[in-house]
Amino acid sequence: KQEVTQIPAALSVPEGENLVLNCSFTDSAIYNLQWFRQDPGKGLTSLLLIQSSQREQTSGRLNASLDKSSGRSTLYIAASQPGDSATYLCAVPRGNRDDKIIFGKGTRLHILP
Amino acid sequence: EAQVTQNPRYLITVTGKKLTVTCSQNMNHEYMSWYRQDPGLGLRQIYYSMNVEVTDKGDVPEGYKVSRKEKRNFPLILESPSPNQTSLYFCASRPLTGGNQPQHFGDGTRLSIL
């Protein structure tokens, strides 16, 4: 059974620091892995999607890596800003199909001005 | 503007009174899905649909129904709502063609069942 874990549940860092958010999953036979951002009272916004054949994806100050063999993904945020404050969630499909999606519980990030 | 629209955004109702939460997308996406989000439990998938007239259960389908008669709409039906269905609900969609594609989410519907 696929399980997705995100540690820590909450994180506070000073503005300007580089930081890493972690996501681990128990079944390495994943189709892809997706990172989302959720602002309070809002829906989810897709940040990065890494296909199973890829090892990383980059978008601006964000870089997501994928290591299927160890069941881990990291989201690296460079030069953090107060506007990065949000909850970050990772999600993987259950099994090697792309229909049923399992989400981690998220890391609540607070960037201190 | 490409978007997923949910209605209503907020609803307070009573146990047993049937309700429908609508979801509509204007991106011609094949795949649509419903999730609920609860404190401490995270986001859990209720139902999903791979195309018109094709629906399947997610992890927590009990107490819910869905239909997919048109490609753009995927309503979530609570035939006899109960307090344990009080939650924040999200609808999402994505295309199935063009390789791996990210999901687009609506802004959510906050349901309170008294």
**Residue A36 clears pLDDT 80, i.e. is over it:** yes
The gap from C-alpha B88 to its chain's centroid, in whole angstroms, comes to 10
pLDDT tier at A95, thresholds 50, 70, 90: low
Mean pLDDT of the A57-79 span: 96
3-state secondary structure of B35: strand
Q: Which residues of B touch A (CB under 8 A)?
A: 4, 31, 33, 35, 40-45, 48, 50, 56, 58-59, 90, 92, 99-108
pLDDT tens per residue across span B74-93: 999 999 999 999 999 999 99
- Contact between chains at B102 and A105 (C-beta distance less than 8 A): no
Measured between alpha carbons, how far is A20 from B103 in angstroms, rounded to an integer?
23
Residue of A nearest to B89 (CA): A43
User: Which two three-digit tokens encode residue B77?
Assistant: 């039906």
Cα–Cα–Cα angle for B73, B75, B80, rounded to 5 degrees: 170
Helix (H/G/I), strand (E/B), else coil: B114: coil
Residue B19: the pLDDT is 97
Give the CA count within 13 Å in the CB-facing half-sphere of A83.
3
Provide mean pLDDT across the span A35-55. Answer: 92
Q: Looking at residue B1, what is its pLDDT?
A: 82
Contact A74, A62 (CB under 8 A): no
Q: Helix %, strand %, coil % for chain A, to 5?
A: 5, 55, 40
Q: How many helices (H) and strands (E) does chain A have?
A: 0, 11
Task: Answer for the pair A47, A59: CB distance below 8 angstroms, yes or no.
Answer: yes
Contact (CB, 8 A) for A52 and A67: no
Is pLDDT of A96 > 80? Answer: no
Average pLDDT on A3-31 reads 94
Share of chain B above pLDDT 90, in %: 89
pLDDT averaged over chain A?
Answer: 93
CB pair distance less than 8 Å for B99 and A51:
yes
Tokens for A48, please give them: 């990065």
Task: Identify the residue among A99, A102, A107, A108 best suited for mutation to test binding to B, counting B beta carbons within 10 A and taking the highest.
Answer: A99
**What digits encode the pLDDT tens for the residues B3-47?**
999 999 999 999 999 999 999 999 999 999 999 999 989 999 999
B97 pLDDT higher than 80: no
